[in-house]
Structure 1
C-alpha cells in the first residue's frame, strides 16, 4: 500500500446558522429589573436591565454582545409594555415612537467584535409599573 500526499486549494466555508434564543419576562430584585435577552444578528444578542428606579423614573442599560459573529454598526429596539417614556440616552442615538424604542450606535461604538460587547444607557419615566420589555432585538 502506498500512501500519497495530497493538496487542497481553493475551497470555501459558508453557512451555518444561529437562531433566536429565548426571552423571559423579568424580575425585580433590589431595584434592578432584568428583561432577558433575545437572539439577534448571527451570534449577537442584546440584554436589557433597569439599573435604578425611583418610583416615577428609572435608568437602564442595554448590553450588546457577540459570540461567533461581529457587528459593524447596530440597531437595538424594544417595545415598552407599561407606557414608559424615554427621556435621555448616552452611548447610542435613541428615539421613541409610541411604545417602540429604537437605538442606533454612535461612531465610537459601532463595532462589536466576536467575543466583545458594547453597552449604552438611558433615563426614562413611568407611571406605576415599570415592566421590562420582552422583545429586545439587535440587528
Structure 2
C-alpha cells in the first residue's frame, strides 16, 4: 500500500508543481487539512479523483503501486470498470425505491466522463470506509 508522500509526490510531478501550497490550492482545501492528511498518512482519494478528472490525468499513474498493478482500468468499448484487477462490469443502478430511481435517471443524463468521475468518487468513499 502506498503512503501519502508517495502519492502526493506523483501528483505534484504529474502537475509539474513543487510546493504543497500549489497542490492544496488546486485541491481546494486549506493548509490545515492538507497538513492533517500528511500527519495521519491519510490519502485524500476524493480530492485526488476530482483533480485528476478535471486535469485529465490517468488515476493509474497516481495510485499505481510499485508493482505497477493497475488500480483502475476502463474498457472504452463497453464502459466496463475494473478496480484492483476485479472486473466490476458496467455501471448499473437498480433502484427499488423512488430515490434510487431518481438517481438512476439523473445518472443516465450525464456524459460518460461525468459518470466515470462520480463512479470513482463513490469508489474512493468505499476505500476510505474500509
TM-score (norm 2): 0.25
Q: Looking at secondary structure, tell me which structure has more helix per residue.
A: 2
**Bigger RCO (CA 8 Å, 6+ sep):** 1
Larger Cα-atom Rg: 1
Q: Looking at secondary structure, tell me which structure has more strand per residue.
A: 1
